[in-house]
Amino acid sequence: MKILSTTQTREADAYTIAHEPILSIDLMERASRTFTSWFVKKFPKSTFEMVSVICGKGNNGGDGLAIARLLEERGYDVAVFILNLTDNETEDFKTNLERVRQLQDLNKVVIKEVSSVEEMPVFGGDEILIDAMLGSGLNRPITGALADILHFLNECENTVVAVDVPTGVFTDMPTVGACIEADYTFAFEFPKLAFLFPENFHYVGDFVCASIGLDQKYIASVDSPYYYITSDIVKRIYKRRDKFAHKGVFGHALLIMGSYGKMGAAILATRACLRAGVGLVTVHVPICGYEVMQTAVPEAMVSLDEDRFIFTKVYDLPKYSTIAIGCGLSTKNRTRNALCYMLKHLNRPTVLDADALNILGQSPDWFEYIPKGSILTPHPKEFERMFGKVYDNFERNELQRRKAQEFGVYIILKGANTCVATPEGVCYFNSTGNPGMGTAGSGDVLTGILAGLLSQEYDPLEACILGVYIHGLAGDIAAEVESEESLTAGDLVNYLGKAFLKLRKL
């Protein structure tokens, strides 16, 4: 799914209104119905006493009024609070206010105007609050009376659901000023870029998005460097196996991993590579890793280094279809030199993770040796070691895109909404995964999956998108059974099979 900026969304909005054609008030109604359909399933009316909708006077407030009316129609007890902080009202806000007033006249909805925090009501414990104060029209940081009201609301214990954008959050740049702290955000048509960055989680909560019927052809024609990885994209990438296929056609991966005390990383990556469907896997380990590897992963072949404890040299590189290097490798001098030699002599996309990235961070001149189309999989700390400190995630994302373009590589920045940046400067944000995956070895599993997919002739972009998605999906299935707290990297490997089964059914 493409992610549009606020300006582009407004253009898509205007295009839809002009070409569907649809009146703007009817588009607002459609958006509000989409919200309401989700809301009634998520918060059935038996689960709380009342809904209070807090509205600004722009179109976000207009949505809020339409939602209040639609919820009343569905049998909810609804109160509307209109923030009287400006005289500017949009036409669609006015029309919807008129419609709600008719309900008020029938004693079906309560409407109250609020001009300051002192006039805010005390909400009951069972009330749910809908934030329709400001949406994508935010054009300056929130201060003054509205900031006081937001602070007041944030102090309340009630569940808060934001319409389109949590009030105060800038969608395309870092947020400053007061913000509502929503528990849920329901975004129209696309998630906003800001929702994908951790610093905004506090404001956005869990987000969902759904189409409000904006013109799909127009959206397809708009240029955007940002995509959200949904099942649609993954479905197009995933290749079913040929009935007559055999292990010879699924490639032979070489994993260069592990050092004394860090063989677990190599084991996890090797198991993941096998579970991701590789035909054959050879794992190159120092002598100390021989027995543990043969015992822990009998399906893998082992190539032994000359050194007892670390990686120093590997032969026969051309015979492997894919190479991945780095998990648990160490950054000792001889390993560094061996990595440098390899990078210079490899001539095909390679997966680089963990200590391979730490070594690159220490020797920035070596970035130019990385084969084009390679995949680098840093977590934020490794990213910082390679490319330096940043102020926030918008800046980090810009840097990630720039470096991917500069070196002609794919950079997978791991975290919530893992982001794949391509050599063309496009970003794909993952939609699967959960906080339980922030556990030792989780990254090693991803590296193994990527090597397994590349071996099966997924191209690097396909491997990145499918890899991060299925890694997250395995995590989500595992968390359902094991809980986020107890989830281990080994579980991710064990649930990969179930994730593939789910993928087949998409």
Residues of the shown chain interacting with ligand LZDS7PUF in the complex, contacts defined by CB under 6 A:
9, 13, 27-28, 31, 56, 58-63, 86, 88, 90, 134-142, 146, 163-165, 188-189, 214
Least distance to K ion, CB of residue 44, Å: 22
Least distance to ligand LZDS7PUF, CB of residue 35, Å: 9
Q: Which residue number, 194 or 449, has a Cβ lying nearer to ligand LZDS7PUF?
A: 194
Beta bridge partners of 82: 55, 113
Give the H/E segment covering residue 440: none
Residue 272 in contact with residue 452, Cβ under 8 Å?
A: yes
Report residue 279 as tokens.
């035909």
Q: Which residue has the tokens 């677990």?
A: 264
Q: Which residue number, 9 or 374, has a Cβ lying nearer to ligand LZDS7PUF?
A: 9
Least distance to ligand LZDS7PUF, CB of residue 168, Å: 7
Least distance to ligand LZDS7PUF, CB of residue 32, Å: 7
Judged by CB under 5 A, the residue of 63, 72, 92, 131 near K ion is: 131
Q: x/- contact string, 147-176, with K ion (CB under 5 A)? A: ---------------xx---x---------
265 is in an annotated binding site: yes
Q: Which residue number, 137 or 373, has a Cβ lying nearer to ligand LZDS7PUF?
A: 137
Name the residue with the smallest CB distance to ligand LZDS7PUF.
137
Q: Which residues contact 373 (CB under 8 A, 6 or more apart)?
A: 348, 349, 408, 409, 410, 423, 460
Classify residue 258 as left (phi > 0), alpha (psi -120 to 50) or beta: left
For the stretch 330-341, what's the b/e string if a residue is b when 16 or more beta carbons lie within 10 angstroms of its beta carbon?
bbbeebbebbbe
Q: Which residue number, 91 or 306, has a Cβ lying nearer to ligand LZDS7PUF?
A: 91
- Strands laid side by side in the 184-188 sheet: 109-114, 78-83, 50-55, 127-132, 159-163, 184-188, 206-210
Q: Which residue number, 169 or 450, has a Cβ lying nearer to K ion?
A: 169
138 is in an annotated binding site: yes
Q: Which residues contact 366 (CB under 8 A, 6 or more apart)?
A: 339, 340, 343, 359, 360
By CB under 5 A, the count of residues binding K ion is 6
For K ion, which stretch binds (CB under 5 A), given 127-135, 231-239, 320-328, 379-387?
127-135
Quote the CA–CA distance of 388 and 223 in Å, as a whole number.
Answer: 29
* Amino acid, single-letter form, for residue 439: T
Helices 442-455 + 263-275 axis angle, to 10: 40
Q: x/- contact string, 20-59, with K ion (CB under 5 A)? A: ----------------------------------------
Q: Which residues bind K ion (CB under 5 A)?
A: 60, 131, 135, 162-163, 167
Question: Residues within the annotated binding site for AMP?
Answer: 414-418, 443
